[in-house]
Chain A
């Protein structure tokens, strides 16, 4: 009898997943888990920050999930997942050593090359910190190639802050600025409270030499992008990561079509100049 590994032809058929094992898992927030996956086939080629994988739980379904680990780490694949629907919940409930399907990496990621020599301003909201964590790993791995680096992170409440120990470690560095705010908090929270856009005037950047990357709920991204434009950053320097109903991930099925593009293949990262008119169309 042929084994699954023998019959799978993931190299030739992009719709066929590779088999992966959950090597480790840790909870990063309420309903949020980070999984370290190892491919049964061995090492893999890494990814570009901002790209995503299609993860499948056998018998349940498949969902797109952004990478949240080191882009150059070819020994494991890291994904941070929030239990929102049946598939993502099943993913977060997989025990260590369980198997799942992996297709990818897919999509066009963050403009890491274009950001070289520029100030980089990252605005993340909620779980949106996960898809930009690889950006931060890349920036810090080649810190000298970039101008100032700032991360502005907003989330719901103190208990929802993702990657807390890493945020603390980044905040202690002298070569980057990290600002965190929550939408509401109890009396035991001594950090900032308010929407993430309020943090924008706490960092200094040169609008003409800044690349901004925004990731989070679409409403938050819309407000943040508009606020950055008010600060003088042009729309072709503001990048957003879009979330849509991605199913095939290769631009065939059309589920994630947004105007003239497929988010899975042409994105998920686009400039605000491109997205601005499309985001104004409620039906999209």
Chain B
């Protein structure tokens, strides 16, 4: 029953929408439910990046600790989005803190498990990459806009 629910959710999540049923089963095999109360960290900068979270409910704040300024938030991730991309490439370390802003329900996908399945089945690997690269590109574009400081007083 739980597996069925996981499969249904993963199939409906924008990241894996349209994924072939066989591949979906492989992804679901690496997944489990996760829940975080408000204020709890999903990940800390520098920790091993061993999970991909698909957010079902609630919001996660991504931030970087900055000397003298505390934690600076740079992105809020909500339902239908994902947290964790550092598991894709070595050294597989989180590069930011991820903290539940409110109650967060998510699907946690074991990154090593998914990586191994992608390595063993390059068709699955390509499908997963096709879905993750647009997320990376989207974040890159957004970061570029943030860096441009378009709302700053440039007078």
Contacts of A183 in B (CB 8 A): 145-146, 149, 151
Q: Which of A83, A126, A156, A186 contacts B69 (CB 8 A)?
A: A186
From residue B132, how far is it (CB to closest CB) to chain A in Å? 18
| 18 sampled A-B residue pairs with Cβ under 8 A | A31-B153, A126-B151, A127-B151, A160-B151, A184-B73, A184-B146, A187-B73, A189-B73, A191-B76, A192-B78, A193-B61, A193-B73, A193-B74, A193-B75, A194-B74, A197-B145, A202-B78, A219-B148
Residues of B at the A interface (CB closer than 8 Å) are 59, 61-63, 69-76, 78, 80, 101, 141-142, 145-146, 148-155
Q: Nearest 8 CB-CB pairs, A to B?
A: A84-B155, A126-B151, A156-B151, A217-B150, A193-B73, A192-B76, A195-B142, A187-B71
Per-residue interface assignment for chain A, residues 137 to 166, with 1 indicating a CB less than 8 Å from any chain B CB and 0 otherwise: 000000000000000001110001000000
From residue B152, how far is it (CB to closest CB) to chain A in Å? 6
Contacts of A198 in B (CB 8 A): 142
Q: A184-B146, A187-B71 are in contact. Are A193 and B76 (CB under 8 A)?
A: yes
Asked whether B145 lies within 8 Å of A219 as measured between CB atoms, the reply is yes
Residues of A at the B interface (CB closer than 8 Å) are 30-31, 82-85, 88, 125-127, 154-156, 160, 181, 183-187, 189-195, 197-198, 201-202, 216-217, 219-220, 223
Q: In the complex the two chains form, what is the Cα distance from A31 to B153 in whole Å? A: 9
Q: A183-B146, A184-B146, A187-B63 are in contact. Are A84 and B73 (CB under 8 A)?
A: no
Contacts of B70 in A (CB 8 A): 186-187
Q: In the complex the two chains form, what is the Cα distance from A201 to B78 in whole Å? A: 11
B64 to A, closest residue via Cβ: A184
From residue B153, how far is it (CB to closest CB) to chain A in Å? 6
Asked whether B76 lies within 8 Å of A194 as measured between CB atoms, the reply is yes
Q: In the complex the two chains form, what is the Cα distance from A190 to B63 in whole Å? A: 12
